[in-house]
Amino acid sequence: MSALTVEDRLLLTDLVHRYAVLVDGWDAAGVAGLFLEDGVLVSPDPPQTLDPVVEHRGRAGVERAIAPITTLGTSVHAITGTVLDVGEAPGTARGRVTCSAHHLTRRGDTWHDVTWVVRYRDDYRRTDEAWRFARRSASLSFLESRTVRAVREGPAFG
C-alpha cells in the first residue's frame, strides 16, 4: 500500500467539507451525489441510540435520509478534525472525521439548538470523476440542547 498523495488528501478533505456545506445548504441530492451509486450512509437514532444503526443504501436512500434537514430553521456543521489513511485496496482510503452539527428549531418564540457531536468513520473510493463516499457511518459522542437568541433562518449557502 502506498501513502495518500497530497492531492488525494486535498480532494478527500474537500469531499468531507463539501458534505457539510451541502447538508447546511439543504441540498439532499447534492449530498447523495457525493456517494457511489451503491454507497451507504449509516445514521444513529437519537435519543434511543447514539450508535450507527439505520442504513440508507444507494444515492436515493442517502437523499431520503438527508431530506428532513429542510424541516429545521437552519443547521451548521463544523468539521473539527479529519484523519485520512490509505485504504486496503488501490484507489481506496479511510477517514475518521469529527464534527459538531447544530440543528436549530423554533418552539413558540424560542429558538433551540440541538447539537450533535458526531464521529464519522468513512470509506472512500476514487472513481474516474472524483473521490466518493463508499460508506459513511456516523456515531454520536453526545447530544446537547440549549436556547439561542437569534437565528438566520433558511439554508446556508443557498
CATH number, residue 79: 3.10.450.50
User: In this structure, is residue 48 part of a structural domain?
Assistant: yes
User: In this structure, is residue 1 part of a structural domain?
Assistant: no
Report pLDDT for 24: 97
pTM for the full model?
0.95
Is residue 88 within 8 Å of residue 70, measured between CB atoms?
no
User: In this structure, is residue 33 part of a structural domain?
Assistant: yes
DSSP letter at 123 equals E
- What is the count of structural domains for the chain? 1
State percent of the chain over pLDDT 70: 98
> Which residues have a Cβ under 8 Å from the Cβ of 120 and sit 6 or more positions away?
16, 95, 96, 97, 98, 99, 136, 137, 138
Cα separation, 45 vs 43, whole angstroms: 7
> Which residues have a Cβ under 8 Å from the Cβ of 90 and sit 6 or more positions away?
none
| Alpha-carbon torsion, ordered 77, 80, 86, 87, to 10 deg | -50
Q: What is the pLDDT averaged over residues 14-37?
A: 98
User: In this structure, is residue 154 part of a structural domain?
Assistant: no
* DSSP-assigned beta bridge partners for residue 140: 118
3-class SS at 23?
Answer: helix
User: In this structure, is residue 156 part of a structural domain?
Assistant: no
Domain range for 73: 6-148
Residue 156 banded pLDDT, cuts 50, 70, 90: confident
Report pLDDT for 86: 97
**Residues 91-102: tens digit of each pLDDT:** 999 999 999 999
Bond before 47 cis per omega within 30 degrees? yes
Q: Residue 157 pLDDT more than 90?
A: no
Report pLDDT for 158: 60
Q: Residue 31 pLDDT more than 90?
A: yes
Q: What are the grid coordinates assigned to 156, written together?
A: 446556508
Q: Residue 128 pLDDT more than 90?
A: yes
